[in-house]
Amino acid sequence: MRTAPIVAARVAYDTDGTPLAPDDGDLYHARHGALEQARHVFLAGNGLPARWRGHERFVILETGFGLGNNFLATWLAWRDDAQRCANLHFISIESRPPCAEDLAALPRDPALAPLATQLAAAWPPLTWNLHRLSFGSGRVQLLLAFGDVSAWLPQIDAAVDAFFLDGFAPAKNPHMWEARLFKAMARIAAPQASAATWSVARPVRDGLRAAGFDCTRAAGSGGKRHITIARFAPGFAPRSTPRRTRVRSRVRDEPVLIIGGGLAGCATAWALAEQGIASSLFERSATIASAGSGNAAGLVHGVVHRDDGRHARFNRAAALEAHRQVAIAIGRHGVGGAMAGLLRVESQGASIANMRATTARLGLPADYVRAVTSEEASGLAGVDIEAPAWFYPGGGWVDPRGLARSFIERAADRIDLHLGVAIAGLRRDGGDRWLLLDATGQPLASATTVVLANAGAALDLLDASGWPIERRRGQVSAAAAGPRATLPRLPLAGAGYVLPPIDEQLWFGATSQADDDDVAIRREDHRENLDRLGRLLPNLRGIDCDSLRGRVSFRYSSVDRLPIVGAVPLSALGARLRPGLGIAGSPRPEQPRFAPRAPGLFVFMALGSRGIAWSALGAQVLASAITGSPAPLEADLLDAIDPARFASRSFRRAGAAAGRQDQRLEGPIAGGSAGA
């Protein structure tokens, strides 16, 4: 997906106080009131609240978030309904969201005002992303897609129960009502999905019908004669959905088994608990977060890349999600850390002018990232910095052990922790359950759904070879913190990194060594880390290498430097585990989303050197894959982190090679060399 800068809406008011968008020349809602319109057109028009009753989850997709009145009215109706569904998912697409100040200052119906205050407090930076905002202990999830509706609709991975069609009037905003958009909606419509809009314009009704929706007129309100309500009832077999091949299991009734108690496993337990799913977590050590996740501190920040490609987008999405969850860990669970900003000092020689040109061209907002001069960076850090830097105001540092603990605490009574229990094997029980085995081959637990979150050791359990995973040793160093004047107030990253003093210790690092299994702390590695520190803080002198403490652990990364998150593809499973597993999905998966999977078997690994920043988003993606709830990430990024991506790439490469071979055999295509 190509991104574009997000420009904030200009919100003005008509003489009667109705908010309007001067750039589009239209009102945000009917004059008789936003709440009235939301209740009559969008809720009643979609048969709500009655239709969500008795459901585990109900999924709504809105075109045009605008000022959020429909979302707030829906949340209010859900909150006040004693028979509400367990989880409400509201996806909304908006190309011109209001800025935080405008949103907070909007006059609201008194019934909506308290919820509006919570929405304003959670409002994200205006970046092209699917922002996941969570309310009501996670039971209400708002997925806000900032960007154009035609770019976003094909990227939504969800089964939608009700559509709220709320662009500006078709005559003024025809792009929001194009026939191809209704077709894109049809591809993500759940069986029996409904749609409603205040518009009765002919092109809208024709477009809905052509996409398989039965349209009827219903009575309008507030002086409007009619509205359109529609039911998805295609007279044709819908094209295959763009959703990942589903391998849903009976997760409601039994705990999901999670292997590994590092950040990946603990975050997964939390994300499942948010959706009401219990888990049993098995960790071979006596404590959680004692291996890769056991450092005293680590960094959280995004990435800027001039093309805003997949890495940049994934890292931005992850950093925004991490910001929210780390802030909760620090604020509510007493975890060490500070999300008060981070400086990434430019180490590739880019000039401040180039850096500013990049942020301007990408339209990245200042509350996500700012290019700052070395003087500005020095002012922010409180120490001399000799190069320009990227300042991430929402970045920071956190103790990963504490972050893991906070995930477990937030999973509360929905987690059963088994510490000091190593899982030595994995086997199918002959039916649809997975067995976790001890070292003697005896079953320790069984379930239909298992998550392997045990870093590199997952490959042993999967009996898999050939996964493109690299293991790199990392040693961090710590010195007794000297005079404060020479130490940074903010974490600094660059060629290496250094944290502000924590418990009178200055942590910095880190080495990165392939093919190195040495667990001992090495003096030469301390020296290497001191060199890195010297490049970040040239004025810091006099640290004696022999006085340093340190810690060694190992990072597991994929070759493409993205995590591996999702259902295990059959092709990646060892031969011992494959027999008896049915094939659902394409046997020739050019795209990861169509790869056949091992039912109920999921993996969350290869968090590399960014596991602190990636764990929350990765866990949410995994939980949505398990429960079938809307994915909090766009489809092309889901492909980018899908465990099936490596097999799909090989398949495509083989296809391309075969194509070249065919061409050589057939000679030039007729007419291909016209000049000859």
Ligand X SMILES: Cc1cc2nc3c(=O)[nH]c(=O)nc-3n(C[C@H](O)[C@H](O)[C@H](O)COP(=O)(O)OP(=O)(O)OC[C@H]3O[C@@H](n4cnc5c(N)ncnc54)[C@H](O)[C@@H]3O)c2cc1C
Ligand Y SMILES: C[S@@+](CC[C@H](N)C(=O)[O-])C[C@H]1O[C@@H](n2cnc3c(N)ncnc32)[C@H](O)[C@@H]1O
Residues near ligand X, by CB under 6 A: 259-265, 282-285, 290-293, 295, 298-299, 400, 422-423, 453-455, 457, 474, 476, 509-510, 553, 555, 605, 607-613
> From the CB of 308, what's the least distance to ligand Y, in Å?
18
- Please give the Cα distance from 650 to 656 (Å, whole number): 10
- Per CB under 6 A, the list member of 11, 41, 45, 69 interacting with ligand Y is 69
Which residue lies nearer to ligand X by CB, 99 or 613?
Answer: 613
Interface positions, 43-62, toward ligand Y (CB under 6 A): 62
634 touches ligand Y (CB under 6 A):
no
Interface positions, 237-266, toward ligand Y (CB under 6 A): none
Which residue lies nearer to ligand X by CB, 365 or 563?
Answer: 563
- Please give the Cα distance from 305 to 373 (Å, whole number): 18
Which residue lies nearer to ligand X by CB, 227 or 492?
Answer: 492
Interface positions, 141-180, toward ligand Y (CB under 6 A): 148-149, 166-168, 173, 175-176
Which residue lies nearer to ligand Y by CB, 35 or 389?
Answer: 35
Interaction partner, residue 68 (ligand X, ligand Y, none; CB < 5-8 Å by kind): ligand Y
Which residue lies nearer to ligand X by CB, 51 or 472?
Answer: 472
> From the CB of 253, what's the least distance to ligand X, in Å?
24
CA 178 distance to own-chain centroid:
28
Residue at 76: amino acid letter = L
Nearest to 616 by CA among 422, 334, 327, 212: 327
Q: Where are the alpha helices (DSSP H) in 543-673?
A: 611-627, 635-641, 645-666
> From the CB of 101, what's the least distance to ligand X, in Å?
31
**572, 647 contact by CB (below 8 A):** yes
- Per CB under 6 A, the list member of 67, 196, 227, 637 interacting with ligand Y is 67
Interface positions, 442-501, toward ligand Y (CB under 6 A): none
Residue at 72: amino acid letter = L
Which secondary structure element, helix H or strand E, spans residue 426, and what is its range? strand 425-428
- Per CB under 6 A, the list member of 30, 88, 94, 157 interacting with ligand Y is 94
- Per CB under 6 A, the list member of 3, 70, 268, 449 interacting with ligand Y is 70
> From the CB of 622, what's the least distance to ligand Y, in Å?
29
64 touches ligand Y (CB under 6 A):
yes
Interaction partner, residue 388 (ligand Y, ligand X, none; CB < 5-8 Å by kind): none
Which residue lies nearer to ligand X by CB, 18 or 285?
Answer: 285
Phi, psi at 493, each rounded to 5°: -125, 160
Position with the least CB separation from ligand Y: 66
- Please give the Cα distance from 338 to 394 (Å, whole number): 10
Whole-number CA gyration radius for the chain: 26
- Please give the Cα distance from 57 to 629 (Å, whole number): 8
- Please give the Cα distance from 562 to 485 (Å, whole number): 38
**631, 578 contact by CB (below 8 A):** no
> From the CB of 258, what's the least distance to ligand X, in Å?
9
Which residue lies nearer to ligand X by CB, 299 or 304?
Answer: 299
Cβ atoms within 10 Å of 329's Cβ, excluding its own: 26
- Per CB under 6 A, the list member of 49, 68, 494, 630 interacting with ligand Y is 68
Which residue lies nearer to ligand Y by CB, 66 or 592?
Answer: 66
- Eight-class DSSP state of 61: E
End-to-end CA distance of the chain: 39
Nearest to 365 by CA among 90, 3, 1, 24: 3
18 touches ligand Y (CB under 6 A):
no
Which residue lies nearer to ligand X by CB, 187 or 526?
Answer: 526
Omega prior to 196 cis, within 30 of 0: no
> From the CB of 548, what's the least distance to ligand X, in Å?
14
The residues near 371 (Cβ < 8 Å, ≥ 6 apart) are 352, 355, 356, 358, 359, 388, 389, 390, 391
Structure token pair of residue 32: 């008789």
**161, 190 contact by CB (below 8 A):** yes
Contacts with ligand Y, residue ranges (CB under 6 A): 9, 28-29, 62, 64-70, 93-96, 148-149, 166-168, 173, 175-176
